[in-house]
Amino acid sequence: MQTYARQPVSFTHGEGPWLWDTGGKRYLDALGGIAVCGLGHAHPAVTAALCEQASKLLHTSNLYGIEWQSRLADRLSALSGMDRVFFSNSGAEANETAIKIARLYGHARGINAPNIIVMQGSFHGRTMATLSATGNRKVQAGFEPLVQGFVRAPYNDLEAVRAIAANDPSVVAILVEPVQGEGGIVIPDADYLNGLREICDANDWLLMLDEIQTGMGRSGKWFAFQHNDITPDVMTLAKALGNGVPIGACLAHGAAAEVLTPGTHGSTFGGNPLACRAACAVVETLDQDGLVAKAAATGEFMQTALGQRLADLHGVREVRGMGMLLAIELDRPCGELVTQALQAGLLINVTAERVVRLLPPLIIAREQAETIVNTVADLIEAFLNTDN
Ligand SMILES: *Cc1c(COP(=O)(O)O)cnc(C)c1O
């Protein structure tokens, strides 16, 4: 079905940050399948894990123990400080799990119609509950009636959340992205998550972080909340977790980890041996190769270099970023830059109409980071000079 306005190109294979199209042309990938391919393409460790597991066992069922699922859960828990994990096949499903946890948690406290605070400009997925949670009318339009149970607040506004806390006893949780990804790499104040944590503690609410885009090292820490000195009650992951193998995860801590009990949730495919083995290889590689620290360093280099080239240009509103989540916000819609970059052999993305978004693989070398910076800066300069 025609759900995507596609670029006129198809790729046959990749290696590291490079992709080749059906005509043999090579591209540098500064999008990584939208924050999925943190290790780049055809990473040998992931390929080896997949091939070996495929020759042994693809799937049994969650009716039985799954060794690689347990290993992955242990690894993710140790890295994040969380206690339990539910595995799904996508980000939206991971968020559905979080929403179900919040609702059960509310009902257990005698709140029959529990509400979750969600933010303006957020993105949480395309299923009915997650599009209802999403703060973008374009995602929701035409799909009414929306799922109930969400209360909206402006992003990066603690006072607005405190005002809801004072007036609405039906709230049981906050669902929020540490950095808004689809919303345009919107980075809140440094103490925003700490403030939300305090409000949640004071009201017995669950703090639920959507780290589907920010997680697995992209922010320069394993998880973006680790830039703050907090632990969330719930955290969702997907995108980079399998480096392209579909897998999502909902992690929970403390009381939130005990909410789901046998029969309350499930998934046929979720956490199967193939996906979990691949994700274990991803975690292992990120760890062994020091890629989380590398993401912080490369991201800082790119943000500084982009700032030097672009920040003072008329038409550039802001250059910003956190690790390998990078954005150049312009003062006008700039979707055509995507096609121009493609012609120049570079994959980029424009989100929220005016924001050039870069989500390169964490593995890129300094030289490739420089190529991305120079190509993007040249394209934006030319675009701003010719656009009226
Ligand atoms: C991509 C994304 C989702 C949705 O993930 P899918 O795998 O496409 O369902 C949810 N939340 C955030 C923050 C995302 O970036």
- State whether 280 and 304 are in the same domain: no
Asked if residue 205 has its Cβ within 6 Å of ligand 1, the reply is no
CA of 344 from ligand 1 middle (Å) equals 28
- State whether 219 and 295 are in the same domain: no
For residue 365, what are the contacts with CB-CB under 8 A and spacing of at least 6?
none
CA of 87 from ligand 1 middle (Å) equals 15
Structural domain contains residue 3: no
> What span, in angstroms and rounded, lies between the C-alpha atoms of 168 and 316?
40
- State whether 108 and 219 are in the same domain: yes
Tokens of 286: 């990120």
- State whether 16 and 64 are in the same domain: no
**pTM for the whole thing?**
0.98
Tokens of 332: 């006008």
Q: Ligand 1 test: best mutation among 211, 212, 322, most atoms within 8 Å of CB?
A: 212
Structural domain contains residue 23: yes
Helices 366-386 and 336-343: angle between axes, nearest 10 degrees: 130
Provide the residue type at 96 as one letter. E
Render pLDDT for 309-327 as a digit per residue (tens, 0 to 9): 999 999 999 999 999 999 9
CA of 39 from ligand 1 middle (Å) equals 19
Structural domain contains residue 4: no
Q: Ligand 1 test: best mutation among 34, 36, 182, 355, most atoms within 8 Å of CB?
A: 182
- State whether 327 and 249 are in the same domain: no
Asked if residue 125 has its Cβ within 6 Å of ligand 1, the reply is yes
| H runs (alpha helix) in the chain | 32-35, 44-54, 67-80, 91-108, 128-133, 137-140, 158-167, 192-203, 273-288, 291-310, 336-343, 366-386
Structural domain contains residue 358: yes
Sheet holding 171-176, edge to edge: 84-88, 248-252, 234-237, 206-210, 171-176, 115-119, 150-153
Contact 100, 130 (CB under 8 A): no
Render pLDDT for 109-140 as a digit per residue (tens, 0 to 9): 999 999 999 999 999 999 999 999 999 999 99
CA of 236 from ligand 1 middle (Å) equals 9
Asked if residue 150 has its Cβ within 6 Å of ligand 1, the reply is no
Give the pLDDT of residue 388.
Answer: 52
- State whether 271 and 366 are in the same domain: no
Contact 384, 316 (CB under 8 A): yes
Torsional sign, CA 83, 87, 92, 97: negative
Structural domain contains residue 282: yes
> What span, in angstroms and rounded, lies between the C-alpha atoms of 60 and 381?
54
- State whether 152 and 223 are in the same domain: yes
> What span, in angstroms and rounded, lies between the C-alpha atoms of 47 and 34?
20
Asked if residue 238 has its Cβ within 6 Å of ligand 1, the reply is yes
CA of 157 from ligand 1 middle (Å) equals 23
Asked if residue 285 has its Cβ within 6 Å of ligand 1, the reply is no
Rg (CA), the chain: 21
- State whether 88 and 179 are in the same domain: yes
Asked if residue 175 has its Cβ within 6 Å of ligand 1, the reply is no
- State whether 240 and 334 are in the same domain: no
Asked if residue 349 has its Cβ within 6 Å of ligand 1, the reply is no
Residue 138 belongs to domain with CATH number: 3.40.640.10
Give the pLDDT of residue 387.
Answer: 65
Atom nearest to 246 CA in ligand 1:
7
For residue 333, what are the contacts with CB-CB under 8 A and spacing of at least 6?
353, 354
- State whether 167 and 249 are in the same domain: yes
- End position of a domain, from candidates 269, 288, 307: 288
Residues acting as catalytic residues = 123, 210, 239
CA of 124 from ligand 1 middle (Å) equals 6
Chain centroid to Cα 42, Å, comes to 21
Q: Residues in the chain with pLDDT < 70? A: 387-388
Give the pLDDT of residue 340.
Answer: 97
Structural domain contains residue 150: yes
Tokens of 299: 């991201």
Structural domain contains residue 323: yes
Nearest to 328 by CA among 378, 286, 292: 378
> What span, in angstroms and rounded, lies between the C-alpha atoms of 138 and 134?
10
What is the count of structural domains for the chain? 2
- End position of a domain, from candidates 234, 267, 288: 288
Atom nearest to 92 CA in ligand 1:
9
- State whether 208 and 302 are in the same domain: no
Residue 21 belongs to domain with CATH number: 3.90.1150.10
Give the pLDDT of residue 178.
Answer: 98
Angle formed at CA 346 by CA 221 and CA 307, multiple of 5 degrees: 55
Q: Which domain holds residue 212?
A: 46-288
- State whether 59 and 104 are in the same domain: yes
- End position of a domain, from candidates 288, 322, 349: 288
Asked if residue 123 has its Cβ within 6 Å of ligand 1, the reply is yes
Structural domain contains residue 36: no
Give the pLDDT of residue 58.
Answer: 98
Asked if residue 244 has its Cβ within 6 Å of ligand 1, the reply is no
Give the pLDDT of residue 253.
Answer: 98
> What span, in angstroms and rounded, lies between the C-alpha atoms of 228 and 225?
5
Tokens of 316: 């550039």
CA of 385 from ligand 1 middle (Å) equals 35
Q: What are phi and psi of 200, to 5 degrees?
A: -60, -45
Atom nearest to 126 CA in ligand 1:
9
